[in-house]
Every structure is written in structure tokens, then in C-alpha cells.
Structure 1
Amino acid sequence: MTQHIPQEQEQDPPALLEAFDGLSATGLSRSFGAVHAVVNMDLQAPAGQVTALIGPNGAGKTTLLLMLASLLAPDSGTVRVMGIDPIKDPAAARAKIGWMPDTLGVWEALTAREILNTMGKFYRLPKEKIPTRVQDLLTLVNLTPLADQKARVLSRGQQQRLSLARALIHDPQVLLLDEPASGLDPGSRVALRGILRQLAAEGKAIVVSSHVLAELDEIADGAVFVNQGRTVLTQTVDQAAGQGRKYSISALDPAALVAALTALGVAFESGNGRRDSVIITGPTQEYASALLRDLVMAGVDVCAFAPATGALEETYMSMKVEQP
């Protein structure tokens, strides 16, 4: 298996960790018996940004999130939540954290409104402000028509939206989301993107773990890639978009497209979609733009020219991550 394993780095001094405006983790490790779920992981999620957490099943993402949420103690390493050490002051850290697990969990016999009301009381929100806060969140996640339905009758996607509202009830500064798009229909996914970008614009530090990499291209500012319990790569989405990637090209006359690419000396392979297309690899966006111009000037009626995969997906696939 090919991995991009970074060399070991010195841990940031405590003063720098406490001054970091967002969520920071350095050298986190956690084992369950003989299983090393997380090994010396690092992650920084700045305030005002969405940070994607990407890796295959079994990579340690959920274990990492549980430690970041102060729900699981690390064997070693440090975490700071807006400068707060959750080991020393868990109550203060949790007051700043919104945690959305990959399933809604308990309280299926309560209605959506009752669940949010109860969470408001747990976080000791002023009693007179809870009803308004609950209604605002039900509106935000588009659950007002279902507010008085039992949680158990909600669909998977509706439960996910309720789980997001539950995580936001106390207006946290750090938001940890484990597979938030799971079960959402296309319209709800678009709405989720808008909600998360708005929350980031308000200054919140957001970490999103998801296998839907195309969604993360539209949501995230940066990404942390993990595999086999280790951090293997960190990059911004702009860096991912600027790297070499595959492009899918279609034309009204496929034969003319193939002839033009051959004449230009461009290597290509057949696409695997329903529509006739070819796949080329471009080292930069400028290369792709110049190739499109050359094809048009050669008289090829190009009807589609776009990345074959998302930027973060391209990075993930280039890592040749071995599935467990």
C-alpha cells in the first residue's frame, strides 16, 4: 500500500495551542486492546472554516471525532477547543462543542420539538428563550411541519436534519459532524451546504467527516486525510483543485475528438459513462483550458469538458488507499 506518511513533527508548545482560534489536536492516540484505532493524529480546524475529515472505513475518523468531542479520552496527545483543554475542563469545552453523530440515537419516543426543548434545558439555556430557539432551528433544518412527530417515524434524512438542529441548540463555536449528508435527498444536501457555509461565515470551526467527497468540494475550505489511524495528508481545497487531475471530454462527433487528440499528441482513454467520452489527465487547470481552446480551434464540436472527479476525490484516489 502506498501512503503519504509525514515525518514526525514537534508538538506545538502549550501557549500556541491555547492561542489557536478553533479546534486543534496534536499527537492523538487511542487503542482498544490490541487495536490501535488512532496513532499520533494531528488536526487543526480554524474558526471560520469547514475542515473535511476524509479516509476509508476503519481509518479512525469516528474515534478521532469522539476524542475531539471530549466523549472519549485519548491515550496520549493534546486537544484544545477554542483554547480550552477538555481533559482539564470538560464542561467548558463541551459548552463550545456541537456534536452530530452519524445516527440520531436515543429518544425516539419523543417528538422533534421535545428533543430540542430537552437539549436546551440540558445546556441551561434561559427557559423563556428555549421555545424561540427551538422554532428557529426547526425552520433552519426544514422540519417545522414535522415538529410534533415522534422521532421514530422520521425518515433517515429527517432524523439527520434533527440531529443537526440538536447539535446547534446551544449555538456552539465548534461543530463536529459525522456523515451529516447520509440519507439526505439532493435538495437537503444543497440546503446543508448552505447552512454549513453560513455557520462558517459566522466564525464557527466546523469539522465534517464524510464519504461523499463531491459534497465536500462545495463545503470545505481544507481537508485532513487519514488512513489506518494516522494523518497522511493535509491540504486546502484550492491546493486540491490546482493539482493534476482527470478530465472527461465529449463531442458531437466522437471520432473527430479522437482524431484531434491524436494529432495534438494528447494521451487519452475511453470514458466509462453512458455517453461517449474520453478521459485525459491534465497537470494544471491552465493545461485543461488550453486543450479546450485547441480542440475548438481544430473544429471539434465539444459539448462537455469537465473534471472527471472532484478535487478532493482526486487526491483521495491518488493516495492509493487500501480498503480494509
Structure 2
Amino acid sequence: MLVTIPITDPGVSLRDALTAALGSEGEAAWLIARGGVWVNGRRVRDPDVRLPVDATVVVQRPPDGIYRDPVVTSAMILYEDADLIALDKPIDTYVEATPWDAEGHLRAALAHFLEVRDGSAPPLHLAHRLDRDTSGVLLLSKAPDVNAALQRAFREGAVRKTYLALCAGLPAFDEIEIETGHGRGRGGVFRVFPHEEIGRALPQGGTVKAMRTRLRVVRRMDDAALACATPLTGRTHQIRLHLAFLGHPLIGDVKYGGPSTWRGVVVQHHHLHAWRLELPHPRSGTALIIESPAPTWANLPDAKTLLAR
């Protein structure tokens, strides 16, 4: 939620300007401390900074009104060496800072965990990203000198990501590889574009990019199907978009047309899980496989056997 505050009193402090606009010094201090206040397009966290008369102050609050404060525990670590660390990301957590919150994200929580455990935290770099409600394997680097090789592996397709997806309805296909265009629509929301529009310039900036996903149905139920999804490109919301495009949106993915209830129960989060990550180690080149336990909604007592078929 955005609130724009024009400044007419030159030299006023950010704290005083925000307090006057919001009617609460405590709320003003909280918003500044969390990093939800922007001055002329720049995040400002100093309450005593003086504002010029032409300054525009924008306050950003969480869209759902919730500030998250994730905690990393040793049980969440799926893999760690001197260069890399992989977490079993829970649902309902952001992996990095948002426009409304510079504190409540998993990278900051991991840094705090490592500082407590080891006495200091290394510079942490996200190798990839997962949506707030997507759970599973999240990989970060701990050594800056492996970042280039790590990003190159992701960029050049040397990394294989396998997701579990619970989608609505019963797909007619057993296995399919789909390629479409990907970009933002006029409202700023990501959408699927026809394949023939790949490369077309968009009015709001950028171009339509290729988006390719391999899907395999693992299990059919009465009213839903469990699928393995392998994104062959790295577009935002790729699996969610392609399943919705095929007429089988994720259970709980109301943003892209998925049902908000399933079997009489309200679903709070979309059902997508980053189950497996395979990549060459960025320093040694050794094959590395990192897995996260399948979530309860996947109902896979023998996940490895079933998913390897």
C-alpha cells in the first residue's frame, strides 16, 4: 500500500514530516526502521535526515498488512560447505528485501543465524529466487569469488530445477514441453504471450521473452493432479503461468486463477515446492544434488522412486 507525502516545509526531518502526515510518531519510527520509507525514489532509514521542499516521500506498507520476521534454524540447512549454503525455505517468507521491508527476509535471517553460530556472517548472495509462498531448496553463496561461475551455470542451463506442483483439474497430458512468450501486461502483472510474439517490444518497456517448461503428471486424484515441473528458462512465475495457461492453475494460486479452497478447506498459499536442485559445484565442478523433503500436500511416501519414473 502506497502513501505519497509532498513536503512543503523545507528542512523538516523525515521523522517529523512522517509523524505529521500519519498522526503517529511510533508508526513513523516503525516504518522508517523497517525500510518502508522512500525519499525521491531512494530508501531512507535515517529519521533525522532533513528534507528539501521539493522532496516526495513515499510510504510502502505490506500489501497484506503483515510484516514477516523469519527465523533460520540449523534444521533448515539442506547443504553447506565453505562456498555454498542451501536452505529448506518455508512458505510465507520473502527471500530478499521488499519495497516495504528491508529486514523481514530470509537472507537477513540467515546472516543473523550465521553470525550467532560462527561469530560473523559471510557476504551472502542469492543464486536464485523463490516466490513468497513457494517452499523448498533455496541456494545462496557464501564466497564472492564463486558468484560468477554460479550465475553462469544458472544462465547457461547447467542447473536443473525440479518442482512439485499440485494443480487443479486432471490434465489430459502425461508429459508435455511448452514454450510461450513471457512479459508484463499493461497492468504490470506477468502474463503468457503467444509464441510468435517472442522478441516483440512491449509498450511498457522490455520485450516478450521465451518461456519454456517441461511438465510430467506424477499422480492424478479426483479433482487435482500432482506434477513434476522443470523450468527450462528462468522467467518470473514461470511454472504458475504455464499451468494456468494450460487450464490447470496451482491449487491456492488465486493470482493466476487457482482455487482458493480445496476439498472444503481454505488454501492460504499456492502449492508449489522446489524439490530438487542439480548443478555443478561452482568451484570444483563436482555434481551436486540438493533435495528438500516433499511437502505434506504432495502425499509422496516414496518420493524418490515415484519422481524418478
TM over 0.5: no
Q: Considering only CA atoms, is the larger Rg found in Structure 1 or Structure 2?
A: 1
TM-score under structure 1 length normalisation: 0.26
Higher helix share: 1
* Larger RCO, structure (CA 8 Å, separation 6 or more): 1
TM-score under structure 2 length normalisation: 0.27
